[in-house]
Chains A and B, each alone.
Chain A
């Protein structure tokens, strides 16, 4: 598992909260740092892809395990 600088637990939250919380967390981070997100909303898989693309951050990893979706986003 890759390293990360900050973690966001978005389990139980539904659209658009995981994205909004992630944005808030990224705002407080510096370029190059990595945010680890845990979510249970299946829609978040496509949403985090779209979020990363539109905000110019890198979605380094997107995984699913036992109903939990995890993401690594590197702030640019």
Chain B
């Protein structure tokens, strides 16, 4: 049986949106898939040694807020300084209490399962990011590098 392949393009750098690529990659690897994630634009935040991703209620009407805050809290209130930190802290606490893995844990599981991680070289240059801030073992490449793997992938996701 030849290995199935999963290719993912990860473009988001918020706490909530970092979950789908890492959950799917670690699980696919456990199911025997050969997995590659191409991190581009804000998705590169997921490759930083020290993960510091946040979640924001601002401009996100779908985000459930604690204590019915979404019912009476004015939309502008979500822009109050400190709101992002508070919501991030609450989200992390909630995830912990529900037994949801931390991003660090999921990323470690991906690395352990030999998920290939490619950082978009163009975005690294664009944002003047320092490659030494990234975890070890990643590759740097461009669109052609992605297609080399994704070209014969069974599943390709853009997240």
Once bound together, how far apart are the Cα atoms of A40 and B27, in whole Å?
Answer: 18
Identity of the chain A residue whose Cβ is nearest the Cβ of B1 in the assembled complex = A56
Bitwise, B42-83 to A at CB < 8 A (1) or not (0) is 000000000000000000000000000000000000000000
Bitwise, A36-75 to B at CB < 8 A (1) or not (0) is 0000110000000001001100000000000000000000
Identity of the chain B residue whose Cβ is nearest the Cβ of A22 in the assembled complex = B30
* Cβ–Cβ < 8 Å partners of A17 in chain B: 99, 101
* A-B contacts, CB under 8 A, total: 32
**Which residue of A14, A20, A51, A54 is within 8 Å of B99 (Cβ)?**
A14
**Which residue of A12, A14, A19 is within 8 Å of B27 (Cβ)?**
A19
**Shortest CB distance B32–A (Å):** 6
**Shortest CB distance A16–B (Å):** 4
* Cβ–Cβ < 8 Å partners of A23 in chain B: 30
Contact, CB under 8 Å: A20 / B31: no
* Cβ–Cβ < 8 Å partners of A41 in chain B: 99
Once bound together, how far apart are the Cα atoms of A13 and B96, in whole Å?
Answer: 9
Interface size of A as a range: 10 to 19
Once bound together, how far apart are the Cα atoms of A16 and B32, in whole Å?
Answer: 15
Once bound together, how far apart are the Cα atoms of A68 and B26, in whole Å?
Answer: 24
The B97-122 residues at the A interface (CB cut-off 8 A) are 98-101, 109
Contact, CB under 8 Å: B32 / A54: yes
- B124: CB under 8 A from chain A? no
The A1-44 residues at the B interface (CB cut-off 8 A) are 12-17, 19-20, 23, 40-41
**Which residue of A12, A15, A55 is within 8 Å of B23 (Cβ)?**
A15
CB-CB under 8 A for A54 and B31, given A14-B98, A14-B101: yes
Given A13-B101, A55-B32, output 4 extra A-B contacts at Cβ < 8 Å: A14-B98, A23-B30, A40-B99, A55-B30
Residue pairs across A and B with Cβ atoms less than 8 A apart, 19 shown, are A12-B99, A13-B101, A14-B98, A14-B99, A14-B100, A14-B101, A16-B23, A16-B27, A16-B30, A16-B101, A17-B99, A19-B30, A20-B27, A20-B30, A20-B109, A51-B31, A54-B32, A55-B31, A55-B32
